Amino acid sequence: MYLMLLLPPLYIASYTYIIYHYEACNADSVPPPPKGPWALTLGIAQSFCGMLMALLASLAHPFMRGRGIIRNTSAKLRPPVILVHGTYHNTGAWLLYRFWLAKAGYARVYCPSYRVPLGNISQGDGPAFLAGVIEKAVSDVERLWPGEKPLLVGHSAGGLLLRLWLCGQGAEQRLRGAITLATPHQGTRMARIAFWTPGHLHSAFSFRSPFLTSLEQAERPSEIPCTAIYSRTDNIIVPEQGMLPPKMLGWNVRATTVPASHLWLLWHKTVCRQVIEELESIISSTDPRS
């Protein structure tokens, strides 16, 4: 009977990867995204396991909100890092990343938590609310560790919150750099299959939606180093172009060195190692002594 509880995540994993595989087979990008029986099977397995991990890790949320400093004996303390989760997650999504970051010297980690309001996020005060999540997180870090500009990593919708916040006056001067992970910068066709989502996300996050188009029009070229990391086997952000930020922003773009589903990116040590390498690159490029 309890095995029946595994059917919904298995169905979602299979359904989304069948759509991904269809898109991969019809993609005109060079080289084309991974496809074939092995890519499909691996993707379904990763997506299924990723959902189970996300559900289990969500139980850690009460212990991970806010400051959550992890002790580290590293003599060289790295800058504070803000980790922003996606729409349907909580701070538990960063359970392993916090551990891996701490081992790399990033012991001061701040994990803000938010819930998308029921109203349409693309209208009225919706964009301001989403940008306010980042504003509060940055303000809290400035209070906790005065004089230090934090780094920011946003998964999925967390990266869009960052872009909304960066539209504000003087925002870039308060951040050292940022990384987005599997963010639907240009939206996703998968949003259409969502019958109901909080904040009308199915409309706002659709591929090249009016909401994302208006966001791009309000932006300006980035003055701080920003990198978009994405997986070519992502089953939620389809097509692949949906994960690429607008070229006018001047961001760096990196594909993951290993195949990973949308959620498995949060549990794959190799992907986290790639994120850490990008953080180190940002620190080096913004070090006044260099």
Taking only the tens place, the pLDDT of each residue in 89-132 is 899 999 999 999 999 999 999 999 998 765 566 666 778 889 99
Burial class (CB in 10 A: 0-12, 13-18, 19+), 97: buried
Averaged confidence pLDDT in the chain: 88
Mean pLDDT of 189-212: 77
**Interval 17-29 mean pLDDT:** 85
> Does the structure show a pLDDT above 90 at 158?
yes
For the chain, the domains span 2-286
Residues paired with residue 161 on neighbouring β-strands, in sequence order: none
Q: Could you confirm whether domain 2-286 is CATH 3.30.70.20? A: no
DSSP symbols for 107-125? --EEB------SS-TTSTT
- Report the predicted TM-score, pTM, of the whole model to 2 decimal places: 0.91
- Token pair, residue 151, equals 């780094």
CA distances from 85 to 5, 61, 283 (A): 25, 11, 22
Q: Is the peptide bond before 150 cis (omega within 30 degrees of 0)?
A: no
* pLDDT tens digits, 26-42: 887 768 788 888 889 99
In 148-258, beta strands by DSSP E: 151-155, 177-181, 226-230, 252-255
Distance, CA of 233 to CA of 218 (rounded, Å) = 30
